[in-house]
A and B are shown apart, each in its own frame.
Chain A
């Protein structure tokens, strides 16, 4: 790698600042009392506390998964604080009551909280460490019957809905991190789209970890009733600490008959420094249940941050003719490790799924695609198309593909394509010979490579993702 290119690789992370704000941080450690404390702080009903305690019991019996292609020192779950919240008035009536320091933080991150400054057409829920601090456009959405609020509020204001769906897509015993999350989750977003309603604006949640020793365990739920549709966006950043923070979220989606949920993520958690020190461990379980006939669940993710990513947004295609989609760009640089992909479980008849995965590995990083396409005996006429492309940048990075395909009937169709390519010095020289510098060249090549995924993103997100990728990879070529 040439020297100029080397310099360009080492672009600093621009969201790495810490907000000095008074926080209410729970003492480190995890036991039943911690869970009771969280539940009490949130004034939760008894059934939820039980759900947590049961999950905790299950978690105690479980082992950390060892199968992902990622390596890290053992996590000490007693060294983490399971609750951190900015100290402020318990309930805010308007955005003007939000701590100005917090508002400044989000302004700095480019997340507009003031409704009058908000991007036209996007409602935002903001999660700072363990709690939701603000949700915009709530009233406007309520007019059409949409509930968009923090999970804590939903538990208090719409307990019947939460109770009905919580843990139904991802049971608390699903896996180690889902169980942990079910025991200690603090906040997240809750969306409910009533029958026949097309959500008039994109809903979005912005996550920010601010406290060094706290973990973030948010829980998000989207329920789309019959014939409804919604597009949901998720963004995340964290300060640059030299220690690692654990982020173990759970996201459950339910789409009923003819409903359509589109979930887009731009994940930009702190990735650690160029030597691999610090960064977020992002161990997330996301799953959508396409429960109704003709329902559709579509995941689009752009994963650029985190020291380690372990994440498989999946679709369970239960309803006949339901559709599952997964579009993913995962970028790793320096010493980042990502093991990401999807699961498409076909159960209903004529269910269809599409997987488009683009992995880009630079520096010393390792990027794995892991995907399961499972077609049950009942899923007659099911179809899947998978395309997994890897791009290597430089000589020391790794790309791996682990596709698992299980077909249990004989009239379904599964197609898998894979490719590996490399940005070479000669490609960059070709651009340079035509007057185009390395940054512009890399950004053009990467955008070309990710085109099929980016065009799935809502407009503002696509622009952000493009900029983020160029920024992350500038010149990491050689």
Chain B
């Protein structure tokens, strides 16, 4: 929701980035204020996941220009784990499997690490068990997933739910959900969307990366951005997503080029 006088949480200016020598992001601008929900859409390969991972600090990507400020501090100065502890959360498009590491053990370490960083109390294994089961209820997840290794053998949809479980546990300031909807069945989509909606409040913000309008029926964005070739080329309200759904992306690019010519 857009609140009057809310603070800027994330401010990205002219962000450029390379991966293995190829430029992927080419001057990306984005401002996110607390309380807001943003959707980023755009064709395959336009750089949406790249952008998400750069915000999270993935070392494979080299930032070659621009700035990223998060709650007034230079996000690019922070190590990935420091960003996470500061409240940047990324729900991965492809959550990785970690065989041998118990999910509950992993979730507890994550939770306690972030809690400690915020000067809050850690939970012991028993307390944590109660806490995490509560959160799992919200997402209608079976407690059986606590006994298994992190994401190992989870179905595509189960992995996505495990991501949102972590978001629910960690209560981040800025959550970036990279195609959390893809792979979810119709019921799961509703449940996960519900969970996300319950987590949204006026102090945090959510950036949804998605290809489909159907997620946005459940989680209504305040802004919809279109990304193409490493830049955000158009921003609109929630109606823009509907328009994209019926017309595709081509017209945005054409319109954008025309606009560029007009201002040149």
Contacts and interface: CB of A to CB of B under 8 A. Distances in A.
Contacts of A2: 59
A168 interface: no
A256 B53 CA distance: 61
B57 A436 contact: no
A449 to B, nearest CB: 5
Which of B59, B85, B95, B114: most chain A Cβ within 10 A? B59
B166 interface: yes
Given A426-B96, A448-B102, A433 B109 contact: no
B19 interface: no
Interface in B47-73: 53, 56-60
B148 to A, nearest CB: 12
Nearest to A430: B96
Contacts of B85: 435
A429 B170 contact: no
Contacts of A426: 96
Given A434-B166, A449-B100, A429 B149 contact: no
A432 B114 CA distance: 11
Given A2-B59, A430-B92, A436-B110, A451 B100 contact: yes
B131 interface: no
Nearest to B109: A436
Contacts of B106: 434, 444
Nearest to B85: A435
Interface residues of B, number: 31
A440 interface: yes
Interface in A417-464: 421, 424-427, 429-437, 440, 444-445, 448-449, 451
B215 to A, nearest CB: 22
B79 A432 contact: yes
Contact of A435 (B92, B98, B100, B117): B117
Given A430-B92, A445-B98, A435 B114 contact: yes
B80 to A, nearest CB: 4
Contacts of A440: 109, 113
A435 B84 contact: yes
Nearest to B166: A434
Contacts of B89: 433
Contacts of A429: 53, 56, 58-59, 80
Contact of A432 (B57, B60, B166, B170): B57
A448 B110 contact: no
Nearest to B86: A435
Nearest to A445: B101
Nearest to A423: B98
A246 B228 CA distance: 64
Nearest to B90: A433
Contacts of B90: 433
B59 A427 contact: no
B105 interface: yes
Contacts of A437: 79, 81
B99 A421 contact: yes
Contacts of B80: 429, 432-433
A445 B105 CA distance: 11
B108 to A, nearest CB: 11
Contacts of A433: 56-57, 80-81, 84, 89-90, 92
B59 A436 contact: no
Nearest to B84: A435
Given A435-B114, A449-B100, A444 B109 contact: yes
Interface string B151-175: 0000000000000001000100000
B113 A427 contact: no
Nearest to A391: B100
Nearest to B56: A433
A124 B33 CA distance: 64
Contact of B96 (A421, A427, A444): A427
A426 B59 CA distance: 10
B184 to A, nearest CB: 20
Contacts of B105: 444
A2 B79 CA distance: 13
Contact of B59 (A421, A425, A451): A425
B110 A435 contact: yes
B99 A448 contact: yes
Contacts of B100: 445, 448-449, 451
Contacts of A421: 99
A426 B90 CA distance: 13
A425 B58 CA distance: 9
Contacts of A434: 84, 106, 110, 113-114, 166, 170
B165 to A, nearest CB: 12
Which of A2, A434, A440, A451: most chain B Cβ within 10 A? A434
A436 B149 contact: no
A429 B114 CA distance: 16
A440 B105 CA distance: 12
A432 B109 contact: no
Contacts of B113: 434-436, 440
A445 B149 CA distance: 11
B101 A444 contact: yes
A421 B89 CA distance: 27
A436 B101 CA distance: 14
A437 B114 CA distance: 11
Contact of A430 (B98, B117, B149): B98
Contacts of A431: 81
A388 to B, nearest CB: 15
Which of B57, B60, B84, B100: most chain A Cβ within 10 A? B100
A437 to B, nearest CB: 5
A448 B81 contact: no
Given A435-B84, A435-B113, A444-B106, A425 B60 contact: yes
Contact of B149 (A424, A435, A448): A448
Interface string B231-252: 0000000000000000000000
A326 to B, nearest CB: 20
A444 B170 CA distance: 20
Contact of A436 (B56, B60, B81, B96): B81
A426 B65 CA distance: 24
Interface string B201-215: 000000000000000
A431 B99 CA distance: 13
9 contacts: A2-B59, A429-B56, A429-B58, A434-B110, A434-B114, A435-B110, A436-B110, A444-B106, A444-B109
User: Which A-B residue pairs are the 9 nearest by beta carbons?
Assistant: A448-B100, A432-B80, A434-B110, A448-B101, A435-B84, A435-B113, A432-B81, A435-B85, A435-B114
